[in-house]
Amino acid sequence: MTETDLTNPDHYQVVVVGFGPSGAVAASLLGHHGIRSLVIDRQREVYDKPRAIAIDHEIMRLFDNLGVADQVLPHVAPFHASEHFGAEGQLIRRIDTVPEPYPLSYVPTMVFTQPPVEAALRAHAQSYHGIEVSLGTELVDFTPSDQAVTLSLRADDGSLRTVTADYVIGCDGASSGIRERLGIALDDLVFDEPWLVVDVLVDDAALGRLPQTAAQFCDPKRPTSFIIGPGRHRRWEIMLLPGEDPRAAQTPERVWELLARWLTPEDGTLWRAASYRFHALVAQRWRKDRVFIAGDAAHQQPPFIGQGMCQGVRDVANLVWKLARVLEGRSGETLLDSYETERSRHVRELTTRIKAIGQVICERDPVAARERDARILAEGGGRPRTITRQDIVPPLATGLLTQADDPGRGKLFPQPWVETPQGRARLDTVAGVGLRLVIEAALAARLSGGILAQIQAWGLRLVVLSQHGEQPVPGADIMIEECDGVLCGWFEASGRAAALIRPDHYVFGTAADESQLAALLDECERGLFPLRPAPTRAAIAPALI
């Protein structure tokens, strides 16, 4: 463990600045690892209006791992197809989810109501014994040193407090004070468009008159997005035209004028109207010494496939398991360098893809819009084609991953339904999470004593996939049998029989045979344990015999 005085009430292993969705998930992950942490936020209450509206199966899987999914799911609904209509109102393409059986067992994309979900995430974080939450508290200043970070805090009653931390995570939003104090600039990926976001609670009698799927109206006269939220919640994102005043656009009178194509004021209750500039911005650095930034503090992207909140949660999921290993003394500080390496590239690539979709939607030139429609239809052979949101989200491309040419490298590992004596259950619930090796039974049965000893020596969980009721495999932590063939299909498509999975569910690498697996384990061990020599199989094998 690092030099940490856990008896000092004003010293914490981690301080999280910001208690929005990313900060709340970071706090729960820290609590899950038993890391003593302080979370602060200037606001005492959750903002009572929706901002984010979409999450995906990767994020719901994490919520399930933390034990908060049951509190979130009542405020969630499936987000299925989004239909794109061209300049003449014709259907030009669909963006949909992958078909069942779903790869992570959840509907791949979902809509949600942010205020109750954020409240549930906050409450869950506060349930951990080692997590202290201080609301109505702002960060005044901080001073990093080689040993710790000193933070000056001010409560809303004016009282001051000084604390220290081994590490700080800035989840303090798009106007992040931490990012500014660190002098970190934002790279502009060149997307800057004014939009009005409108949320309405629609009366039951009017719901049937609205589109029954989400829609992008790629109309050069006024590009508009329509999203079906949970229950009676409907959202419109309406592009503002040159010369329109963003403040005037969000007045109730103007909002209802813009919604007149769909609704009248008698058809529902205006919940929220806010003008935004949709940006594509990514921080040039995500870490300076012991201070990290995450979520909107590190990046902002247009909302066209609903990945904004997902990106922030991915950030903290990536960072916290690495912090835990370093704080526990199981890995060296160099592991933390992979946070920025992995997340910055992933965010840049996904934001670039989202920006390209946004540019298609935002085309204002009528001639170019008609050419766009013809090109998109031609890509589908003259018919509207369907692409999936999951194909838009890229895998990890760099960082703590095998350097071999590997078909599974950096991808999210599936979470199928598996059989248990009590009935169907999700893989993570049965097999556990953390660093793990999932391997088909035929290969697992042939593993040498040296590899089994290496697996045991560094706490790697061994999960064996059985297809035909094979006999128990020595050394296996658990044997599983899936319900729908998702994992078997994944292994077959990749031509592999084993996958080394990181705690954030990304695949370090895969192997087809024992030789490849041995090389994979050695490579991962060098990445995780840079401060100590990796034990050789020859050295540890005798202990197993």
CATH (domain of 488):
3.40.30
What's the pLDDT at 459?
A: 85
Instruction: Indicate whether 165 belongs to any domain.
Output: yes
The region, left, alpha or beta by phi > 0 then psi within -120 to 50, assigned to residue 190 is left
Domain final residue pick, 337, 358, 379: 358
Ranges of H-type helices in 200-277: 204-207, 246-249, 252-258
Is the Cβ–Cβ distance between 536 and 522 less than 8 Å?
no
Between CA 226 and CA 208 the distance in angstroms is 14
State how far the Cα of 456 lies from the Cα of 426, in Å rounded to an integer.
25
pLDDT, one tens digit per residue, over 503-527 is 999 999 999 999 999 999 999 999 9
pLDDT of residue 80: 85
Same domain membership, residue 344 and residue 424: no
What's the structural domain count of the chain?
2
Check whether residue 459 and residue 539 sit in a common domain. Answer: yes
Q: What span, in angstroms and rounded, lies between the C-alpha atoms of 290 and 303?
A: 31
One domain, residues 353 and 465: no
Q: Check whether 545 has a pLDDT greater than 60.
A: no
Q: What is the pLDDT of residue 540?
A: 27
CB-CB contact of 116 with 68 (8 Å): no
Lowest mean pLDDT among 120-124, 255-259, 448-452: 448-452
CB 249 within 8 Å of CB 151? no
Domain boundary among 358, 377, 402: 358
Rounded to the nearest 5 degrees, what angle is found at the Cα of 125, between the Cα atoms of 119 and 131? Answer: 140
What does DSSP assign to residue 497? S
Write the burial class of residue 421 (CB in 10 Å: 0-12 exposed, 13-18 middle, 19+ buried). Answer: exposed
The two tokens of residue 302 are: 């247009």
Residue showing tokens 């979520």: 295
Is 447 within a domain?
Answer: yes
Structure tokens at 280: 């594509």
Cβ atoms of 339 and 286 closer than 8 Å: yes
- Average pLDDT score, the chain: 93
- 439 within some domain: yes
Looking at 66-75, 170-179, 417-426, which range is the least confident one? Answer: 417-426
pLDDT band at 325 (very low <50, low <70, confident <90, very high): very high
So what's the pLDDT on residue 542? 26
Q: What are phi and psi of 148, to 5 degrees?
A: -165, 180
Q: What is the mean pLDDT of residues 128-156?
A: 97
- Interhelix angle 449-457/514-528, rounded to 10 degrees, is 20
pLDDT for residue 179 is more than 60:
yes
Are 301 and 426 contained in the same domain?
no
Mean pLDDT of 420-448: 94
Non-local CB neighbours of 476 within 8 Å, separated by 6+ positions:
444, 462, 463, 464
Q: Residue 5: pLDDT above 70?
A: no
Q: Is there a domain that residue 268 lies in?
A: no
CA nearest 539: which of 430, 454, 456, 425?
454
Tell me the pLDDT band of 536, cut-offs 50, 70 and 90: very low
Are the C-beta atoms of 208 and 232 separated by less than 8 Å?
no
Give the number of other CB atoms < 10 A from CB of residue 129.
8
Task: For residue 455, tell me if it sits in a domain.
Answer: yes
Give me the percent of the chain exceeding a pLDDT of 70: 96
pLDDT value for 539: 30
- By three-state DSSP, how is residue 301 classified? coil
**Cβ(357)–Cβ(306) under 8 Å?**
no
CB 426 within 8 A of CB 418: yes
Write out the DSSP string of 327-374. Answer: HTTSS-GGGGHHHHHHHHHHHHHHHHHHHHHHHHHT---HHHHHHHHH
Kindly tell me if the per-residue pLDDT of 533 is higher than 50. Answer: no
Nearest to 224 by CA among 190, 258, 189: 258
134 and 60 in a common domain: yes
pLDDT, position 371: 97
pTM for this predicted structure: 0.94
Does any domain span residue 196? no
Sorted by sequence, the CB contacts under 8 Å of residue 39 that are 6+ apart come out as: 15, 16, 19, 23, 24, 26, 27, 125, 131, 132, 133, 134
Query: Which domain-ending residue is among 330, 358, 386?
Result: 358
Q: What range does the domain containing 159 cover?
A: 11-73+111-183+285-358
Between CA 361 and CA 214 the distance in angstroms is 14
Asked whether residue 73 carries a pLDDT value surpassing 90, the answer given is yes
Residues 298 and 439 in one domain: no
Q: Does the structure show a pLDDT above 90 at 541?
A: no
**What is the reported pLDDT for 160?**
97
Domain check: are 170 and 301 in the same one? yes
Query: For residue range 395-408, what is the model confidence (pLDDT) as tens digits?
Result: 999 999 999 999 99
Q: Is the dihedral of CA 527, 528, 534, 536 positive or negative?
A: negative
| pLDDT for the residue 543 | 25
Same-domain status, 45 and 177:
yes
Are 299 and 438 found together in one domain?
no
Q: Side chain identity at 323, as an amino acid letter?
A: L
